[in-house]
Amino acid sequence: MIADITACFLQSALLPAYISAQEAIEEYGLSKEELMAAADALYEAYPVRLPMGLLTGSATIEGIAGHLLEQLGSAAIAARHGLGAGTAESTEDVESSIDTNRSAAYDFRLEELIYTLQVGREPMEERLAIVVSGTQELREKLSHFLAGSRKVSEVYAGNISSGSEIRDVFRESEEGEAFLLSLVQSGKLSQLCRLWISGVSFNWQLLYAQSKPGRISLPTYPFDRTRYWYNSTEAAAAVYSSKPAALAAVIDSNESVFEEQCYKKSLSAADAYLRDHVVQGRMVLPGVVYLEMAWRAGALSSREWKVESVTDVKWRRTLELPADKDVQDIFVGLVTQEDGIGASIYSLNGNGQRVLHCTCTVNYTDGEAEAADVDAVDIPHILQTASRTLYREDCYELFSAHGMKYGPNLRTIEEVYTGDHGTLSKLTLPVNTQMPLQEYILHPGFADGAMQTALYSVLSGQRQNGTFVPFALQTVEVYRPLTPVSYCLVASAAYAKEQDMQFDLLLLDSSGLPAVRFSCLSGRDLTSSAQNTRAAEAESAALAGTALLDEMLTKLLAGEAGVDEVERMLGGI
């Protein structure tokens, strides 16, 4: 029966191939017309007209099956499914049994249906009253009324606006109440109906002096089934849609001051690379986004020189979107160093002090970076000689089991191949991605896909069972743009020890040409490192204090700072 009922719904509405018999039908968002079509299909299979209450609210397919079984009886259901072949009943006998059970069920529930409509619904301005003696008569009179006929016997329709004078006569009048009671006692229901459709209030309980029917579950008034669920992502996007145009996908504005070249990004759940990167149940900014921020900030800070590489990367502390905040501001500060431009990516705590998340060095060149020392990779040969292949779903199930959950924009791995060459992943730009390829230099989806490939290399090699996150990176270089289908080749760093988690990652375009190179990526277990959170906070605060102290001493020795400014800086430390 459940299979039959499910088939009726599937043929009446556009639904998933599998729908649960225990889940509320309303969760599938059927329209009123689709529900009516399903009810008609069910009636063809099992000749029982279902009350709409069994199709709406918390009704389930299992509930419908139970109701049909109750109304038709197990013998009739069994015979209908060919399970009663050993009995002497003919097909006509079975159909007759079904019709008898159906009529008995309707007649048994008709009084309850009427009583429920009388006392369980708020009377409205437009009213309809019908005097009937059975279900079949009710069906016929309703059919005529719906067809437009207004001359059906004992069918009364009207609007209370036309009976204001009549209502005044019966309002709070003992004589009026006595008259209504006399109509009940004499069985003059037609007159009672005429008064009610004119707006006269009536206590329907008076009709049931001997025994009161039970109230049953019936559909409420028909409302528009369009859903308007609150969408936090869309809401956040709407709030910030009025902001000035961003300088880049990962940088909103230039906040530079004399002390440093500074850029700011206001992160929210509207940023797909943050929303789709969940570590141990928390929205955490992917480590590769820091690289994109540093590269973009470096590019925005020079008119003539081009960024050649980012080196000496250290991821010091993760950045999360707090549960009590819709936005988290993050800054990229650039200062001149002897060996290049030092970049610090930080947020501000409640006291206005810096919390360091990543540090690195931005290096410039006056020409284009070339991949002179890296040859094209023979991808077809690697695919042919691979000893093992893992597909997308299995790969992300493995990550999820280790606390790393990726949303659709970061699920770029299509397949992973392992063999003597190392680990090769095929990366594809997701359909309808919210991160267009041309808006990034180090595309978060593909760059994080490379990190995911390294993660798979760790997990598949059983080097550790925790949550692997990047800790340090020697160099990242960009040679050419990535393509919608790209590849990532991961191999252990040449000088890495067996127990170390150090890798060289090479992002390739669709033809196998090198596009981005990550040299000597080091990882650590986030689970164990989380135990050292306080130490990390102390280290971050100390680094921030040291930087401010150096700045203060430099200005003081150069005669650029007075007593007031020194006191202000000391307060910050």
Which two three-digit tokens encode residue 397?
Answer: 């199930």
Phi and psi for 151 in degrees, rounded to 5? -120, 30
pLDDT value of residue 525: 67
pLDDT value of residue 397: 92
Evaluate whether 5 touches 64 at the Cβ level (below 8 Å). yes
Spatial CA neighbour of 295 closest among 311, 279, 316, 318 = 311
In whole angstroms, what separates CA 498 from the centre of its chain?
Answer: 41
**215-241 pLDDT, tens digit each:** 776 766 666 666 666 665 566 556 555
Q: Report whether CATH 3.30.870.10 matches the domain 379-530.
A: no
Mean pLDDT taken over the chain = 81
pLDDT value of residue 531: 46
Between 63 and 468, the more confident residue is: 63
Between 258 and 99, the more confident residue is: 258
Q: What is the DSSP letter of 361?
A: E
CB atoms closer than 10 angstroms to residue 225: 13
Section 426-453 average pLDDT: 94
Phi and psi for 370 in degrees, rounded to 5? -125, 145
Q: How far apart are CA 454 and CA 448, in angstroms?
A: 10
Q: How far apart are CA 277 and CA 409, in angstroms?
A: 9
Q: How far apart are CA 306 and CA 316, in angstroms?
A: 26
- Burial annotation 508-517 (CB, 10 A radius, 16+ → b, else e): bbeebebbbb
Alpha-carbon torsion angle 425, 523, 354, 406, nearest 10? 40
Which residues have CB under 8 Å from 389's CB, separation 6+?
415, 416, 417
Q: Angle between the 91-119 and 135-146 helix axes, to the nearest 10 degrees?
A: 70
Least confident of 88-92, 382-386, 476-480: 88-92
pLDDT value of residue 113: 86
pLDDT value of residue 85: 44
Section 250-260 average pLDDT: 92
Out of 1.10.10.10, 3.20.20.10, 1.10.1240.100, 3.40.30.10, the CATH code matching 2-207 is 1.10.1240.100
Spatial CA neighbour of 456 closest among 417, 429, 408 = 417
Q: How far apart are CA 175 and CA 463, in angstroms?
A: 92
Section 415-434 average pLDDT: 91
Least confident of 66-70, 439-443, 532-536: 532-536
Percent of the chain having pLDDT more than 70? 76
Q: How far are the Cα atoms of 176, 182, 184, 417 from residue 188, in angstroms, in the given order? A: 15, 9, 6, 85
Q: How far apart are CA 134 and CA 110, in angstroms?
A: 7
Between CA 396 and CA 416, with CA 455 as vertex, the angle to 5 degrees is 60
Least confident of 9-23, 347-361, 445-459, 530-544: 530-544
Evaluate whether 440 touches 507 at the Cβ level (below 8 Å). no
Which two three-digit tokens encode residue 67?
Answer: 């109701």
332 — pLDDT class (breaks 50, 70, 90) = very high
**95-128 pLDDT, tens digit each:** 455 455 444 444 457 888 898 888 888 888 899 9
pLDDT value of residue 471: 86
pLDDT value of residue 104: 43
Evaluate whether 458 touches 501 at the Cβ level (below 8 Å). yes
Does residue 463 carry a pLDDT above 60?
A: no
Q: How far apart are CA 573 and CA 541, in angstroms?
A: 9
3 — pLDDT class (breaks 50, 70, 90) = confident
Strand 404-406 to strand 340-348: parallel, antiparallel, or no bridges (unpaired)?
unpaired
Does residue 437 carry a pLDDT above 70?
A: yes
3-state secondary structure of 510: coil
Which two three-digit tokens encode residue 361?
Answer: 């060095």
**280-305 pLDDT, tens digit each:** 888 999 999 999 999 999 999 998 89
pLDDT value of residue 509: 94
**466-515 pLDDT, tens digit each:** 556 788 999 999 999 999 999 999 998 766 555 567 899 999 999 999 99
Q: Is the dihedral of CA 459, 462, 465, 466 positive or negative?
A: negative
- Burial annotation 314-344 (CB, 10 A radius, 16+ → b, else e): ebbbbbbbeeeebebebbbbbeeeeebbbbb
pLDDT value of residue 564: 56
Between 58 and 139, the more confident residue is: 139
**6-46 pLDDT, tens digit each:** 888 888 887 766 677 888 887 777 788 888 888 888 888 88
Phi and psi for 144 in degrees, rounded to 5? -60, -40
pLDDT value of residue 31: 81
3-state secondary structure of 208: coil
92 — pLDDT class (breaks 50, 70, 90) = low
Does residue 544 carry a pLDDT above 70?
A: no
**Strand locations in 420-553, DSSP E?**
422-428, 468-478, 485-492, 502-508, 514-525
Domain covering 247-365: architecture: Roll (3.10)
Spatial CA neighbour of 546 closest among 512, 569, 573, 506 = 573
